[in-house]
Structure 1
Amino acid sequence: MSVEEKCSAHQRRRRALSVDEQCQLLARHGIKFEQCCREDAKHFLKDNTYFFKLKAFDNNFVRDDKGTYLNLDFAYLKDLSTIDFEFRVLILRMTGDIEHALRVRFNNLLSQVNEDGYQVIRDYEDEQAKYYEKNGRIYDSDSCYQQSVYTKGMIDKFLKDKPV
């Protein structure tokens, strides 16, 4: 393909499809609207997901030689989309719970040792500075800590003397 053809192909961008047109395209690909009527499908596409995410789930279904889906109803895609959403919610909740449990455990461990939490951070920053210098870079602890939205408030409060 020549450069002109590539540029021409790039300029022929697809326009955004309305929800009606998305359902029509799905139907042309052999997706049926029997177990989930077209109106419910439109509402689902409009209010719960987006076309490309839903369309990705169709890769799990069989097509004939012409690329038309065999026995694929929109309801199946809707179910997979719903399962995907619920699974992501579960995973996010679990990771939040795990993070919280690890932080509690970390804080409990810190409280059981007779260690200067301020010195721990100073030692860490010294080691980081040596590592960066060895690799031809400069370690700036203040800017490193402030890059995170999670730590910025605490760092602003304790910037000069940071505890673990």
Structure 2
Amino acid sequence: MNDKYKLTFDEMIAYLTKKNIQFNITSEDEALEILRTRNYYYKLTSYKRNYQKEYDKFPYGIYMHLEFAYLVDLASIDMNLRYTLLEMCLDIEHSIKVRLLEHITDDEEEDGFTIVERFLDLQNKTVQSYIGSMGTNASYAKKMYDRHHQKLPVWVFMECITFGQFVRFIEFYYKNFATDITYYRKLHETIRYIKNIRNAAAHNTPILMNIAEPGTAKKTKIASDYLSQVPNISKDARNKKLKNNRVHDLVLLLFIYSDYVTSSNMRKHTFENLTSLLSRCKRNKSYYQKNLALISTYKFFESIINHLKL
């Protein structure tokens, strides 16, 4: 299919049929209704990347053992996953900010203003250029910005910056101020991967679209070290799974959550969500009996979640 021209809904179904995607569970009429009202073609079909193609007799490639209903089910699971991941990222962000502000407050040599000025100087930014959008009438933080933008304390700065800006501040703090080196070193090594997941979840980008594909990424030592703690995951499985970027980032998110989120209520809520998500994955387990890669990926994350017991 040429992505540069628009398909009608009937042409979408015809193309899926040509690629051997079946309509035995969900009929073509039901699929048309789903594509019209519940999900859109590109997102829904992105999950087909988790299925193998047969090329021997079909030069253009056809999918093997793939029903349209399987794609719908994966899309539903992925939606639940994104909601859970976004909550986890928000918990991590909140918990780190609490600890960071504790450390800054306890630092007798820091007044809470100088650290912001120094950070902005290193970024070659002014307060106005860095967070000026907070001063617009549409911003929920306008009053906060109007009151403090001439001289910005770090506790207000934390409420005004984006997550990407927060990542840069963490790296700045680690290199220049941190006394609890271990706490901030792990964040320095991992926070950008948490950002990947946060951005994908917040922008409703499919997480599972190629979650079972063999990857070529270079695994990080910290992710490998974390996984070595899980008794049911072999070194070979660890090395293979971490080559997939999405798997790698999700692994770090789970372990960073376990290490950095200390609120018992947050942890209990997240473990309940993750346990519920694992159950949801098995609701239509017959759909995935022939997809050994997806089954393996499910068991991989099930082992991690059961090991952490958030």
**TM-score under structure 1 length normalisation:** 0.70
Given that 1:145 and 1:151 are in contact with CA atoms closer than 8 Å, whether structure 2 keeps it comes out as no
Question: Deviation string for 1:1-50 (max 9, x for gaps)?
Answer: xxxxxxxxxxx984311222211110111111001111221222223322
Cα shift at 1:128:
4.3
Which residue matches 1:146?
132
Which residue matches 2:8?
18
Which residue matches 1:91?
85
Cα shift at 1:100:
2.5
Which residue matches 1:156?
146
Which residue matches 1:8?
none
Which residue matches 2:172?
none
Structure 2 unpaired stretches of 5+:
155-310
Q: How does 1:73-152 map to 2 (within 5 A)?
A: 73-109=67-103, 113=106, 115=108, 119-126=111-118, 128-129=120-121, 131=122, 139-147=125-133
Q: Does the residue aligned with 1:44 lie in a helix, a strand or coil?
A: helix
2:20 is the counterpart of 1:34: no
Which residue matches 1:55?
45
Q: Which moved more, 1:100-109 or 1:31-40?
A: 100-109
Cα shift at 1:93:
1.4
Q: Which moved more, 1:101-110 or 1:60-69?
A: 101-110
Question: Deviation string for 1:63-101 (max 9, x for gaps)?
Answer: 222012222110111111112221111111111222223
Structure 1 unpaired stretches of 5+:
1-11, 133-137
Q: 1:99 to 1:122 in 2, by over 3 A?
A: same
Report the Cα distance in structure 2 between the residues aligned to 1:127 and 1:101, rounded to whole angstroms.
21
Report the Cα distance in structure 2 between the residues aligned to 1:108 and 1:84, rounded to whole angstroms.
36
Q: Does the residue aligned with 1:53 lie in a helix, a strand or coil?
A: helix
CA RMSD across the alignment: 3.0
Q: Does the residue aligned with 2:66 lie in a helix, a strand or coil?
A: coil
Cα shift at 1:115:
4.7
Report the Cα distance in structure 1 between the residues aligned to 2:36 and 2:108, rounded to whole angstroms.
56
Q: Percent identity?
A: 29
Report the Cα distance in structure 2 between the residues aligned to 1:127 and 1:68, rounded to whole angstroms.
54
Q: Does the residue aligned with 2:53 lie in a helix, a strand or coil?
A: coil
- How many residue pairs get aligned? The number is 145
2:45 is the counterpart of 1:45: no
**TM-score under structure 2 length normalisation:** 0.40
Report the Cα distance in structure 1 between the residues aligned to 2:148 and 2:131, rounded to whole angstroms.
11
Report the Cα distance in structure 2 between the residues aligned to 1:114 and 1:126, rounded to whole angstroms.
16
Given that 1:32 and 1:72 are in contact with CA atoms closer than 8 Å, whether structure 2 keeps it comes out as yes
Cα shift at 1:152:
5.4
Q: How does 1:60-71 map to 2 (within 5 A)?
A: 60-64=50-54, 65=56, 66=58, 67-71=61-65
